[in-house]
Chains A and B, each alone.
Chain A
């Protein structure tokens, strides 16, 4: 391909050159005095071609060489990827060899809706607030809404280690270097690194490079899913991804729609999240993504648009998954097949927890507490310690049993509002005696 050595303009991370025969979405290699970087064609106007430079335009000279590669962004997809770590341009970050086999395009076409099937398999995480109260379902797309400082990356890592999946793809955008090391080490210690593929863009890397991470992660995940693998894709943090898009859009002088974000924010996020799919007779893609909410504001454009796209959300607040606001839209598809008391216990315990919150308010306002309030306070405290705490790690069956024992510890049978036949079957034996001792 022809080499161009005259850059017409540099604005933000976008450069413009005069070139011919270029196709939309093509890649180019730019060589600067600081090294070389990939760049992607994002606009063509006559012979003026605009490209976003992955490594950023800082230090780029108008005389630097630009070589078009004649193909769009691609990523290698073979079994050799497992256990490897790459950066946002798809180059090795772990010192291993670069991979060039079986290059596949990224950002491929959408799944035909008529080929989708109704999801049917639960993903076990060992976290009662998920398994019991908002069950994660294979092929679900679910964000974790949180704020900076919350242990969302720890939560992701734990789910990755405990979920029964064949492959974990982690896409990190604007990740703190410490967090990257945390993920790598945790996966390694948990013995899961060999079935993981990491695409890591850290906060120290050029912003534009982070834009490719979701597409690369999902393109690889899609290939493995088509080959029958159950893939769990973890993306953190999608707000950084949206901010990178915002930056490019502003540089391109696009009209911003809401708080500076481009008008196509919804479509851009949706085209990534909608890659979650359960393929009939083959594998699946489940997406868990962290979305930090600037200022803890759920009406901020990123969490707001995300909420309209995803199938529910987990609110991580105060180190716990909040029972209120958190929602798994797909839980109904699976929680009738776990155990017969699952649905009733799920609703019953949350209803009583809501009453506990009222009692707590009453207490803090200095009103007199009734005996019932005392029971609620005891229940709420136990519920938070034995169920909501993120260190609790038990299978769903045990979580259900624990739910009954918490109820039996705090209440009489008829005070729980649960169906009589379930109480007869699941109320812990000898619980009445325990109650008598109180």
Chain B
């Protein structure tokens, strides 16, 4: 018999319940209002009274309303058919919900996350007599571009001897496809789908590896200068209008990973709509299939209930872990983690907890750390590797990075892509700040090459600042040329034209090729008569380079423009920076 209870208090989306039996922390319960049951989660227990956060609007709840406890923690359903879905924070499929309730999200309606009528072509991989445990592969079904592994449910903690494995054939997610006996001799049925609590990380792997393989995003500034490794973590803080969401959208399109999970957490619904409408039309160059087939959208936008916003990032990361267990590379994009942190703050306030900085709860940092720690590249029991990369945007109040969420995030991530208001105002895309951002991962270029380019940029920045004081006339020609080199690097390499089909997504091969040319230009001594001459020369070079950026890699036009660029360079180049001599030798190889 499950525990039941009655409502004794209501404050916003927090309800106090008097329970008649045992209550589990984070247990899901349902509050009966009229003919609906509102899903809630236990967040504090005191004596026989439990405080629960309600995942719905609480209007109309009254004292004495009946509450049923489920003895289950908040869980998501895992199985074939997740890819291409659009869920809310509690894994309710939104398109199906729309069919049922129309334009508006009626409360208290929960649908199956997986289509129970869909039929999957099952191929067994295990055989009778095999000893299996949680996460082991029983068989596969084709899902989109992948072999979806049907696994022993993660919660089955025993070892099982298989007594039956179904033949290849068509089954639904709820059909038992295998049967086994556990160590006590009980018979267990295995279906193709099972549930797993969202707040418990899946740890069914041999070991966690160090993230070293670059996760290619095809954004030059990210791949070359501030790389992210597969299984790594990064954050994108920025004031409003700096282009956080645009950067996430572009990454979700072009990133070279198997599965992309977009967690639209507390942001504008309109932005999700663009993804919803455009992805089915776009093809994934890696598989030639629709981009939607590798994407899952978990969408709990700003006007949807705040408690399920808190759950939505966990829902997203759990779905990611499931696909990681199949040896796939998953990218989770959370936009925005600040809204998730605010959801925690709202609940903390209602619980009357002692507030920390800016009223965020004291456990803010540990929760953020625990979330990002669910990223990682792991070696699975069968020797394959799988990874989850997490990229979260942060929306700091007033654009000030000194606030708690940004600071807590910076402590735990491996790369920081800080967006700057000045750069976005100047219409520089991406607005990642080239000197303030950092990454601890190794990317597609050797570190010292990147460092050299960075040193030129830093010098250029210093000269620019000095020039604002002493004017152009007080600056030496040598310094002026260094300044122009920095500007050149910024314009032709850091910035990308997101409207240009070629320049919007640059392959790593092309980045390596183009960057070597950039290094040559940066390292060359440039002989100019005066500043006007230098300005004109750099302007000419820049124009050619921008055209070059817009041409197909290794096409005739590309080669001819590259020759033009080299000719322009040769016309003024004399000698090279001795600091860069080794780098240029390596590049020429």
- Shortest Cβ distance from residue B190 to the other chain A in the assembled complex, whole angstroms: 33
- Shortest Cβ distance from residue A211 to the other chain B in the assembled complex, whole angstroms: 14
Q: Is the CB of B274 within 8 A of A118?
A: yes
**B86 close to chain A: CB less than 8 A:** yes
> B345 touches which one: A111, A263, A273, A327 (CB < 8 A)?
A263
B86 closest partner in A (C-beta): A114
Q: Mark A42-74, 1 if CB is under 8 A from B, else 0.
A: 011111000000000000000000000000100
Q: Is the CB of B273 within 8 A of A113?
A: yes
Q: Chain B residues with Cβ under 8 A from A44's Cβ?
A: 9-11, 62-63
- Shortest Cβ distance from residue A265 to the other chain B in the assembled complex, whole angstroms: 9
Q: Chain A residues with Cβ under 8 A from B16's Cβ?
A: 45
Q: Chain B residues with Cβ under 8 A from A263's Cβ?
A: 342, 345-346, 348-349, 359
B354 closest partner in A (C-beta): A255
Q: Is the CB of A267 within 8 A of B60?
A: no
B106 closest partner in A (C-beta): A109
Q: Mark A316-359, 1 if CB is under 8 A from B, else 0.
A: 00000000110101100000000000000000000000000000
Q: Is the CB of A112 within 8 A of B342?
A: no
**B94 close to chain A: CB less than 8 A:** yes
Q: Is the CB of B303 within 8 A of A304?
A: no
Interface size for chain A: under 10, 10 to 19, 20 to 34, or 35 or more residues? 35 or more
Given known pairs A22-B62, A25-B59, A258-B397, the reply for A43 and B10 (CB within 8 Å) is: yes
Q: Chain B residues with Cβ under 8 A from A114's Cβ?
A: 86, 94-95, 97-98, 276
Q: Mark B332-373, 1 if CB is under 8 A from A, else 0.
A: 000000010010011011001001001110000000000000
B62 closest partner in A (C-beta): A23
Give Cα distance in the complex from A91 to B312, angstroms: 40
**B77 close to chain A: CB less than 8 A:** no
Interface size on B, residues (CB 8 A): 61
Q: Is the CB of B349 within 8 A of A254?
A: yes
**B111 close to chain A: CB less than 8 A:** no
> What secondary structure prevails in chain B residues at the interface with A?
mixed
**A148 close to chain B: CB less than 8 A:** no
Give Cα distance in the complex from A271 to B399, angstroms: 22
Give Cα distance in the complex from A110 to B104, angstroms: 6
Give Cα distance in the complex from A416 to B294, angstroms: 46
A312 closest partner in B (C-beta): B241
- Shortest Cβ distance from residue A64 to the other chain B in the assembled complex, whole angstroms: 23
Given known pairs A258-B358, A263-B345, A267-B342, the reply for A113 and B103 (CB within 8 Å) is: no
B345 closest partner in A (C-beta): A263
Q: Is the CB of B397 within 8 A of A301?
A: yes
- Shortest Cβ distance from residue B303 to the other chain A in the assembled complex, whole angstroms: 4
Which residues of chain B in 61-75 are interfacial with respect to chain A, using CB atoms and an 8 Å cutoff? 61-64
A226 closest partner in B (C-beta): B103
**A234 close to chain B: CB less than 8 A:** no
Q: Chain A residues with Cβ under 8 A from B11's Cβ?
A: 43-45
User: 3 tightest A-B contacts by CB?
Assistant: A299-B398, A270-B302, A274-B303
State the A residues within 8 Å of B (CB): 20-25, 43-47, 72, 107-119, 226, 254-258, 262-264, 266-267, 270-271, 273-275, 279, 299, 301, 304-305, 307-309, 311-312, 324-325, 327, 329-330
State the B residues within 8 Å of A (CB): 8-12, 16, 57-64, 86, 94-95, 97-98, 101-107, 239-241, 266, 268-270, 272-274, 276-277, 299, 301-304, 306, 339, 342, 345-346, 348-349, 352, 355, 358-360, 395, 397-400, 425
